[in-house]
């Protein structure tokens, strides 16, 4: 099974919640970058990955996803989870969350649990704020912790060049050092998105990632990547999530390939093609 990554088109931090999380506003959009997940019947829960730095015990989100379903719904079941990582870690692409969502969805079928989408969302949220998004595919407008989702029936008509600059950024760190804005309000990205597709200048004007100032201050080289994405013809370029990945929207494949070539010898670079989602 393919566990696809995502980008954040805009990330507006609204306020800190009483539970310690933050209320946010963002657009989640899938990109054609994915991990491969395989599930095998087993006598115990176990995880195998192709990346030595990823935990394979109870600290792994896939392990946690299987453990939750086993403890609550299928005590006599277990699974061996094989994860081939292609989505970079600590990149703002949601790889770990997507992997966990695939495990939840596929074990629901494999173990014949018959859990509803709402029940799966509840378990997904216990694993992470953006895990519920990955239970479905498509573009979604997200509020709350990122779990209040409204899926939008449109597709992005762009070649999306995605650049991972070999830097892993902790989401926990990013939120810890984030300083609240004086004026917090909804931008209403959901209402602007369709107009922005037809008028790309609106992306630059309206879709701001509040973490850019923090991340670019600590990792000064990342802003140069954003600048080069624009120099190579991007209609819009931004940090994804809390970083470190940056992406650019390109109208033509030829232009996107030029941008890809500018980075691919130094960084992990991908192209997601139009209308993928």
- Predicted confidence (pLDDT) per residue in 140-182, tens digit: 999 999 999 999 999 999 999 999 999 989 888 998 888 877 6
- State the pLDDT confidence band at 52, using cuts at 50, 70 and 90: confident
Indicate if 96 and 216 belong to the same structural domain: no
CATH number at residue 260: 3.30.70.890
Same domain, 175 and 40: no
Number of H helices, E strands in the chain: 9, 10
Q: How many other β-carbons are positioned within 10 Å of the β-carbon of residue 202?
A: 16
Cα 230 to Cα 152: distance, rounded to the nearest angstrom: 27
Give the pLDDT confidence of 9-27 residue by residue, as tens digits. Answer: 999 999 989 888 899 999 9
Are residues 19 and 135 located together in one domain of the fold? yes
Q: So which residues are the catalytic ones?
A: 6, 130
Comparing 89 with 193, which gets the higher pLDDT?
193
63 & 98 share domain: yes
Q: Are 28 and 139 in contact (CB under 8 A)?
A: yes
- Same-domain status, 265 and 145: no
Considering the domain boundaries, does residue 28 fall inside one?
A: yes
Task: Choose the final residue of a domain: 135, 150, 165.
Answer: 150
C-alpha 190/C-alpha 215 separation (Å) is: 25
Identify whether residues 136 and 10 lie together within a single domain.
yes
Q: What secondary structure does DSSP assign to 206-228, as a single string?
A: H--BTTHHHHHHHSTHHHHHHHH
Confirm whether 97 is domain-assigned: yes
Q: Which two tokens mark 124?
A: 């997904």
The average pLDDT across 35-56 equals 94
Residue 21 and residue 125 share a domain: yes
113 and 166 part of one domain: no
Do 31 and 140 sit in the same domain of this protein?
yes
Instruction: Note the pLDDT of residue 243.
Output: 86
| Pair 170, 5: CB distance under 8 Å | no
pLDDT tens for residues 59-71? 999 999 999 999 9
Could you give the number of structural domains in the chain? 2
Domain boundary among 114, 133, 150: 150
DSSP 244: S
Query: Residue 277: inside a domain, yes or no?
Result: no
Per-residue pLDDT of 191-212, as tens digits, reads 999 999 999 999 999 999 999 9
DSSP state of 88: P
Say whether both 104 and 182 belong to one domain.
no
Residue 145 forms part of a structural domain: yes
Residue 276, pLDDT > 90, answer no
User: Which of 130, 150, 170 is the endpoint of a domain?
Assistant: 150
Do 173 and 144 share a domain, yes or no? no
Residue 36: domain span: 2-150
- Are the beta carbons of 235 and 251 closer than 8 angstroms? yes
The backbone torsions φ and ψ at residue 40, rounded to the nearest 5 degrees and listed phi first, read -135, 140
Closest CA to 94 of 230, 245, 234, 197: 245
- State pTM to two decimals: 0.94
Q: Is residue 183 pLDDT above 90, yes or no?
A: no
Helix/strand/coil for 163? strand
Phi-psi region of 127 (alpha: psi -120 to 50; beta: other; left: phi over 0): alpha
CA pseudo-torsion sign 256, 7, 94, 116: negative
Residue 222 lies in a domain: yes
The H-or-E segment that residue 196 falls in is: helix 189-198
């Amino acid at each position: 099974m393919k566990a696809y990554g995502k980008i954040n088109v805009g990330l507006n931090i609204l306020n800190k919640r009483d539970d310690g999380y933050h209320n946010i506003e963002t657009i989640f959009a899938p990109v054609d970058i994915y991990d491969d997940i395989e599930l095998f019947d087993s006598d115990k829960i176990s995880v195998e990955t192709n990346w030595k730095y990823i935990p394979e015990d109870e600290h792994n989100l896939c392990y946690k996803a299987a453990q939750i379903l086993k403890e609550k719904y299928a005590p006599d079941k277990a699974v061996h989870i094989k994860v081939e990582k292609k989505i970079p870690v600590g990149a703002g692409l949601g790889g770990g969350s997507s992997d966990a969502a695939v495990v939840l969805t596929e074990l629901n079928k494999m173990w014949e649990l018959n859990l509803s989408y709402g029940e799966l969302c509840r378990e997904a949220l216990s694993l992470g704020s953006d895990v519920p998004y990955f239970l479905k595919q498509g573009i979604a407008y997200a509020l709350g912790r990122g779990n209040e989702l409204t899926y939008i029936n449109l597709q992005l008509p762009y070649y999306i060049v995605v650049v991972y600059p070999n830097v892993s950024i902790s989401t926990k760190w990013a939120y810890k050092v984030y300083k609240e804005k004086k004026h917090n309000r909804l931008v209403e990205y959901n209402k602007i998105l369709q107009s922005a597709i037809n008028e790309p200048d609106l992306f630059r004007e309206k879709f701001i990632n509040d973490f850019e100032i923090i991340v670019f201050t600590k990792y000064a080289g990342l802003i140069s990547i954003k600048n080069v994405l624009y120099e190579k013809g991007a209609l819009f370029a931004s940090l994804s999530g809390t970083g470190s990945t940056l992406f650019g929207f390109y109208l033509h494949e030829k232009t996107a390939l030029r941008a890809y070539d500018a980075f691919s010898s130094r960084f992990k670079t991908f192209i997601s093609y139009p209308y993928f989602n």
